[in-house]
């Protein structure tokens, strides 16, 4: 979408913001992972168990994408054995209420 826009017209800041939102929401499983995290910190293994349908490769890839988007943070603890967990960033927590409302949209449209 961005490509087309940048070729054909000046970039509209609203459109850029919208594209950023879509990057966060529309990646495969991203919103689902955000919902599973909610307000908790979760270890990788916990997330695996919470979303059994997702493959290991995709979970790692989507967590990386969410970290690089600034939605999720990964914390490593200096423990033996080493512990790593994932949680929503401050910004991620800020937008969580809006993101949680998105399920209700689907529910409404699933009604006959």
Q: Taking contact as CB under 8 A, which single stretch among the options 42-50, 59-67, 68-76, 79-87 is the one that binds its own copies?
A: 68-76
CA 50/CA 41 separation, integer angstroms:
13
Q: How far is the CB of 44 from its own copies (least distance, A)?
A: 19
Please select the residue that binds its own copies; options are 9, 39, 76, 78, rule is CB under 8 A: 9
- CA nearest to 42, candidates 70, 83, 71: 83
CA 62-66-71 angle, to 5 degrees, is 155
Asked if 87 interacts with its own copies (CB under 8 A), we say no
- CA nearest to 39, candidates 99, 92, 106, 107: 92
CA 85/CA 111 separation, integer angstroms:
37
Q: How far is the CB of 80 from its own copies (least distance, A)?
A: 34
Give the torsion sign (CA, 9, 17, 21, 65): positive
**Residue with smaller CB distance to its own copies, 66 or 85:** 66
Residues of this chain, 33-62, that bind its own copies according to CB under 8 A: 35, 52-55
State the residues that interact with its own copies by CB under 8 A: 1, 4-5, 8-9, 14-22, 24-26, 28-29, 31-32, 35, 52-55, 69-71, 91, 94-95, 98-99, 101-110
């Amino acid at each position: 979408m961005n490509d087309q826009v940048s070729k054909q017209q000046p970039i509209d800041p609203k459109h850029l913001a919208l594209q950023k939102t879509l990057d966060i929401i529309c990646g495969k499983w991203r919103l689902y992972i955000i919902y599973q995290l909610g307000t908790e910190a979760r270890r990788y293994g916990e997330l695996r168990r919470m979303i059994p349908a997702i493959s290991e490769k995709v979970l790692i890839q989507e967590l990386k994408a969410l970290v690089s988007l600034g939605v999720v943070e990964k914390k490593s603890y200096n423990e033996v054995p080493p512990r790593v967990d994932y949680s929503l960033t401050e910004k991620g927590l800020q937008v969580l209420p809006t993101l949680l409302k998105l399920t209700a949209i689907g529910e409404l449209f699933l009604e006959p």
